Amino acid sequence: MKKPWIALLVLLTISCVEKNEYYTLDDFDKVDKIDTHIHVFADRNSFVNQAKKDNFRLLNIMVDLSKGEELIKEQYDYCLAQKKGHPEDYEFATSFSIEDWDNPDFTKNTIAWLDKSFEEGAIAVKVWKNIGMVFRDKDNELIMVDNPKLDTIFDYLASKKIPLVGHLGEPKNCWLPLDEMTTNNDRKYFSEHPQYHMYQHPELPSYEEQIAARDRMLEKHPDLVFIGAHMGSLEWSVDELAKRLDKFPNMSIDLAARMGQVFYQTVENREKVRAFFIKYQDRLLYATDLSDDGEKNVGEMQKDMHKMWLTDWRFFVTDELMASDLVNEEFRGLKLPKEAVDKIYFQNAKKWLKMFPTNGI
């Protein structure tokens, strides 16, 4: 029979080992973190002030909404001002308008614009779902991301080792009727944005065609550093996502606005999801898609930011039973090892996006 003090020593040892291997909820504001996908197009400091409280740094991402160069430049001015005002808290990703697609100088003009962006501090380039889902050329042909006209731009980015952040396609739910979607956030978004609800637009490319075009683009540009925004539009299956990460070694993904699908898969098979996050911990970047357009109530916005960041932290670092309005069933947190959490929340942003290379973090 073991002596009581030996049993106590064993328990204390186990407790110390676990404390060294895992974070807790209380570690949230003590650990350096980066949110690699936010949109702040406002001249106020409300967003960054909350980020500082929660120990987050930020990648501010521009978006080409097919509304021309004027909107691109407006977003750019906001991003540049935030970066200059808070250089230790913000990096930014530029974008380019494709409204001038039919201009013979489109490629030359785009590269000139990107050069200016990089000289002024941009660290990445964003392409959006208007490529593949919205924009058409003068012949009314839909432009897909593997269009040869884009090759020169992507080769240019690869040569400069500038990452491309790609929101290409949409969640697979986008091609389903609302009542068959797997997450409440998708159901809400596509009910409010029917122009992007592909179930209502069978004349447009299918989900499979969107993913195939993206994959063909990556096959043509193996040296391009590519970050698949929103889990690379493969949010519905960690198995499918693993296949792409295995096939494309220069591809990583961010988690922006897709935690609902992660929760949904965790309900179905927590151990599979946990194994995926551990195996591919070097390829996953924490992100939310939080935004500030300058019109939101500051108090409510900051409360929502903190709630989302804290909920996600709880999911990744504990094994507590959780609920979310994104899904309809309870699920248990993944309780990832510290090493994986540090990579997902911080180190991968520095590795894949070269964020904050000189400020000592």
Could you tell me the pTM of the whole model?
Answer: 0.94
pLDDT at 20: 81
pLDDT in tens, 299-329: 999 999 999 999 999 999 999 999 999 999 9
| Mean pLDDT for the stretch of residues 244-254 | 98
pLDDT over 70 (residue 111): yes
Question: What is the C-alpha to C-alpha distance for residues 170 and 69, in angstroms, rounded to an integer?
Answer: 24
pLDDT at 359: 57
| Mean pLDDT for the stretch of residues 183-195 | 97
Tell the burial category of 159 from Cβ atoms under 10 Å away from its Cβ (0-12, 13-18, 19+).
exposed
Largest CA distance in the chain: 86
pLDDT at 12: 47
pLDDT in tens, 251-293: 999 999 999 999 999 999 999 999 999 999 999 999 999 999 9
Mean pLDDT across the chain: 95
pLDDT at 67: 86
pLDDT over 90 (residue 35): yes
pLDDT at 66: 84
pLDDT in tens, 52-102: 999 999 999 999 998 889 999 999 999 999 999 999 999 999 999 999 999
Residue type at 284 in one-letter notation: L
Do 110 and 116 touch, CB atoms closer than 8 A? Answer: no
Question: What is the C-alpha to C-alpha distance for residues 124 and 118, in angstroms, rounded to an integer?
Answer: 8
Do 63 and 94 touch, CB atoms closer than 8 A? Answer: no
If one compares 5 and 203, the residue with the highest pLDDT of the two is 203
| Mean pLDDT for the stretch of residues 116-120 | 98
